[in-house]
Amino acid sequence: MTKTVKNITINALDTRLDVSGSHDELKELAETFNSMLDRIQRSYEQQNQFVSDASHELRTPIAVIQGYANLLDRWGKNDQSVLEESVGSIKTEAENMKELIEKLLFLARGDKGVQKIDMEKFPLNELIDEIIKETKLIDAGHDITTNHCESISIYADRKLIKEALRVFVDNSIKYTPQGGKIIINCYSLKSEAVLTIQDTGVGIPKGDLPYIFNRFYRADKSRTKQTGGTGLGLAIARWIILKHNGTIEVESTVNEGTRIIIFLPL
């Protein structure tokens, strides 16, 4: 056992102790050790996957920026229209990259346990009003309202909760055709605040539901290509809600819509 354990490195994380003999306590120890290795190996592989997905996502905007820079270099200097198109695209891609990096940094701070959380008591209904008002300013294509919002206060990090709600509302906007409805409600139920975000959008196929909170996961690859996005929004929102000892439920029907239900301790 000692010899095997000494040889375990990050490059040989799939090594396991031999538990075939029936030496009671030693066997139990070996089994415990093996299941610990299972857990370490799993999170190591997840972390690797995360780094590789992140690098992959960063390659696209960099390639686009490089492409336009080369174009400018070759013909753009004297051609006003090439110049304008290139500068516009470089700006957009740089902005996309900045957003992606900010999301990655948020998740990394969460993983490391250094994300700051400032708890305060605040009225949830006022935050919802604020979000509805702000959303109306940037999106005129949907009918965004509330039809039941009790005045309840929660003890939480207002900025983070707002960020999480933004993720859900942004998704409802993105995955609901123009003219659709988005309804945000809140009420108290026993010792919890319940928040719902409901849309009349494209919905999420049953098979995708278990994975939508995973990092970089996007349902329906062909459709999501057009809408843009990285698949990090829900991973961030989930982190925030879990940090507040809350839970999230999703109900969705394809072509009918999606309802997100968030429970937070009052």
What is the size of the binding site for ligand ATP (CB under 6 A)? 24
**Residue 176 touches Mg ion, criterion: CB under 5 A:** no
Please spell the DSSP secondary structure of the chain, one letter per residue.
-HHHHHT--GGGTT------S--HHHHHHHHHHHHHHHHHHHHHHHHHHHHHHHHHHHHHHHHHHHHHHHHIIIIITT-HHHHHHHHHHHHHHHHHHHHHHHHHHHHHHHHHT------EEEEHHHHHHHHHHHHHHH--SSEEE-S-B---EEEE-HHHHHHHHHHHHHHHHHTS-TT-EEEEEEEEETTEEEEEEEE-S----TTTGGGTTSTT--SSHHHHHHH---S-HHHHHHHHHHHTT-EEEEEEETTTEEEEEEEEE-
106 lines the binding site for ligand ATP (CB under 6 A)? no
- Binding-site member from 125, 171, 172, 198 for Mg ion (CB under 5 A): 171
Would you say 156 or 235 has its CB closer to Mg ion?
A: 235
Task: Provide, rounded to whole angstroms, the least separation between the CB of residue 238 and ligand ATP.
Answer: 9
User: Which among Mg ion, ligand ATP, none contacts residue 231 (Cβ within 5 to 8 A by kind)?
Assistant: ligand ATP
Binding residues for ligand ATP restricted to 28-87, rule: CB under 6 A: none
Site for ligand ATP in 235-254 (CB under 6 A): 235
Which residues of this chain interact with ligand ATP, rule CB under 6 A?
167, 171-172, 174-175, 199, 201-204, 212, 217-220, 224, 229-235, 258
